[in-house]
Amino acid sequence: MSKKRKGKKVIAKTLGTFGNWTVKGGEVKRSTPGKVKKTNLFKLVGEKIPFEAIDAVEKYARNVLGSSPEGVYMAIDSMGCPRYSGRGDVFPRLKAHKRDYPIELDFFSFYIVENKNHQREIETLLIRSTSFLAVLNERKVRASISPGSVLDYEVGTKFVDRQEKKGKKSS
C-alpha cells in the first residue's frame, strides 16, 4: 500500500547555481483543498545546502521570515556526515564554523524553530544521534555507550535514566 503525500513542493524562487547545485526556495502546499494547519514546528528548513550558497540562503530566509533566523543547524562534510550541530543565530554560526574548518565542511542543514525550548531539545537530539561523527563538536557529545545528562533537556521533561549498579563489577 502506498502512502499519499499530504503536500506538494511549490518553488517560489531560484537562489542561484553553486558548483553542481541549483538552490531554490519555496513552500510545501496542500495537494488537496482544505484548511492549512498553522502549528508547524519548523518555519523554514534547508538540508545539505552547499556552503557557497549560504549568503543567498540567508538573504532568502530574512526575506521570508522578516527577522534574523534562529534555530538548529548542522555543518556537514563532503560525505554527508554531520560534523557539528548547534543552535542559535543560524547563519552567522554556520559561517564561523566554515571559517574554522574550511576544508572539512562542504554543506549545511538548518531548521528554523520559533520556540527556543524546542531549539534546545532538537539540538540535544541531533548532537546525541550524531556524536560519533561530530568530531568538531565537544559540547554534549557522548561518543560511547554512556548516556548524556537529562539536564540537557528543558525543565519539566519526564525521563527514563539508567544508572550503573554500585558495588563489585561482574566480569
Domains of the chain: 11-28+40-143 (3.40.1440.10)
pLDDT of residue 126: 84
Is residue 136 within 8 Å of residue 83, measured between CB atoms? yes
pLDDT tens digit sequence for 151-161? 666 666 656 66
pLDDT tens digit sequence for 116-147? 888 888 888 888 777 766 655 555 444 555 55
Look at strands 107-113 and 70-76 and give their pairing.
antiparallel
Give the 3-state secondary structure of residue 162.
Answer: coil
Instruction: Work out the widest C-alpha separation in the chain, in whole angstroms.
Output: 65
Burial label for 155, CB within 10 Å (0-12, 13-18, 19+), is: exposed
Q: Which residue in the block uniquely carries the three cell numbers 547545485?
A: 21
